[in-house]
Structure 1
Amino acid sequence: MTRIVRILLLGLIPLTSAATEYPATLGWHHILTISTPLSGKIRQIKVAPGETFKQGALLVSLDRRPYQAALKRSQSELQRLEASLKDAERELNRAKALFERTVLSTTDLQAAELAFNTQQAEYDLAQAKLTQAEIDLEYSQMRAPFSGIVLEQLAQPGEVIVNQCQITPILRIAPIQTLVVRAQISMSQRSRLKPGESLVAVIHNKRYEGKIEKIAVLPQITPGGSNKYQLDVELPFSDALLPLMGNKGTIEIP
């Protein structure tokens, strides 16, 4: 009788599968270094470490006067060469007309063509320099490529940066639309998971539901010699998580 009761009781207990907890770390989705290919003097840094900003916000500005002057010089040079090019074109058209009437020699026609081609090349070069001057002026202001937070300031206003052999970093920023919990999982777990699936992360004794963003294709060899694959679980942004960046937690995998 006792054995029958035990069997009946076991039949009433629902079967549950315990989730496996994998050690994980809460981190930024990615970190971006703000810099510029230009050399110049930093005029202003508009944000400070820990400060958040919106996409498109001005973060850093160089002294723009040298680049504004270069742009004006390029514009003036292009206007001058445009007038010279029109003169050369008129001379070429006149030479062609005279040549057709056998009034002008082949040598003179070729000289007019050469003069026009030379002016055209100089005009094209000046146009390229103007485009570069416009790009340089744009690069003298560094704007936020996304909404995020400033992690670190690496330069100061008034500092002169020389970006010839190596780019000088100015700020390190990270997006805050989403955060990422990263863990190392085994090959067997990797084969069962797919990007987009929901998983639960436990950070500071609180549970957060997220979605698998990606799973590494290539393994990392652990000190013990086993292969592990990095699992990235994306979490929605929460102000409560910001002070916990870098903290350890777990990811629950059914």
Structure 2
Amino acid sequence: MRAAALRTLLALLLSASAAAAQELSARLEWVDRVEMRAVANGVVDKVLVTMGEHVEAGDLLLRMDQREARASLLETQAQLARGVVALDDARRELDRAQELFDRGLIATEELKDAELGHAAALAEHESERAAVAAAEVMLERTELRAPFTGIVVERNAYDGAVIYTSLQQAPLVAVAPTDRMLARALVTSEVLRRYRPGQEAAVIIRGERRPAAVYSLGVEAVRIDPAGAVYELDVVFDARPDEILRPSEFVKVVLP
């Protein structure tokens, strides 16, 4: 009798727990979406990806015409080389002036002039080094590379397209990660107040239940219904490498 009573109690507890859980309709969204644009006016030399293509972190997605950036880099490198020669000359002149001063053959003013000449050459050398570094950065920025492993979700550039940074409304390429996805449900403020980021949850995808966690809670209402304001509640879960999940697919979110 006691064992039967325990089984009955356990069944009631499980039933109550299941009843307390909420199963909500939700839709899939990307966890992140990085939109990539050109940082300088130019012409698209080559687009190397297509919509829906999977890319690895660091993969080249798009390359702008690099001729002007390469010419600028060569010019600054040449200036730096000339600056190195000038700095060496100024250092030798300072050493010579110091030696003559130590022997009492020149005045203090002449030594100071040599010191000032060396300081000016050193400052010019540092400025030229900075110019080379800036030119290298501008050359790097003619290439758009994948910031992480993911999928190309938008492509608005084509070979030969002329790009003006002030007129870029849409990104040239957009990339989203595929290792995690969001399931976004719409809930009332009463439901929203019950949860905090990090709480355990679950997602039901194509009949399969998977572990998840509350990711974020909406701050501004997405709409106002007769029953009250409606907010977004996001849960995050790990996606599998071999599956294809797309935004706006409908799933179920289970909240405790």
Q: TM-score range by the shorter chain?
A: 0.7 to 0.9
Separation in structure 2 between the aligned mates of residue 167 and residue 115 of structure 1, nearest angstrom? 50
Tell me by how many angstroms 1:46 deviates: 0.6
Give the gaps of 5 or more residues in structure 2.
none
C-alpha distance after superposition, 1:11-61 (max 9, x if no partner): 579221322223322111111111232332211111111221122211011
Query: Aligned in 2, Cα 1:105/1:164: closer, same or farther, shift over 3 Å?
Result: farther
* Correspondence 1:220 to 2:233: no
- The equivalent of 2:211 in structure 1 is 210
Query: Which of 135, 138, 145 is the equivalent residue of 2:147?
Result: 145
- For 1:64-213, list aligned pairs within 5 A: 64-163=66-165, 169-185=171-187, 189-190=191-192, 192-203=194-205, 206-213=207-214
Separation in structure 2 between the aligned mates of residue 126 and residue 230 of structure 1, nearest angstrom? 52
- For 1:39-78, list aligned pairs within 5 A: 39-78=41-80
Separation in structure 1 between the aligned mates of residue 192 and residue 239 of structure 2, nearest angstrom? 25
Corresponding residue SS for 1:104: coil
Contact 2:38 2:163 in 1 (8 A): no
Separation in structure 1 between the aligned mates of residue 200 and residue 72 of structure 2, nearest angstrom? 54
Name the aligned partner's letter for residue 160 of structure 1.
V
What is the alpha-carbon root mean square deviation over aligned residues?
2.9
Separation in structure 1 between the aligned mates of residue 193 and residue 231 of structure 2, nearest angstrom? 10
Contact 1:32 1:173 in 2 (8 A): yes
C-alpha distance after superposition, 1:52-88 (max 9, x if no partner): 1122211011122222222222222111110111101
C-alpha distance after superposition, 1:145-189 (max 9, x if no partner): 111111111222111223368687311121111111012445665
Report how many aligned residue pairs link the two structures.
243
- The equivalent of 1:14 in structure 2 is 11
Task: Tell me the percent identity.
Answer: 31
Give the gaps of 5 or more residues in structure 1.
1-7
Contact 2:61 2:145 in 1 (8 A): yes
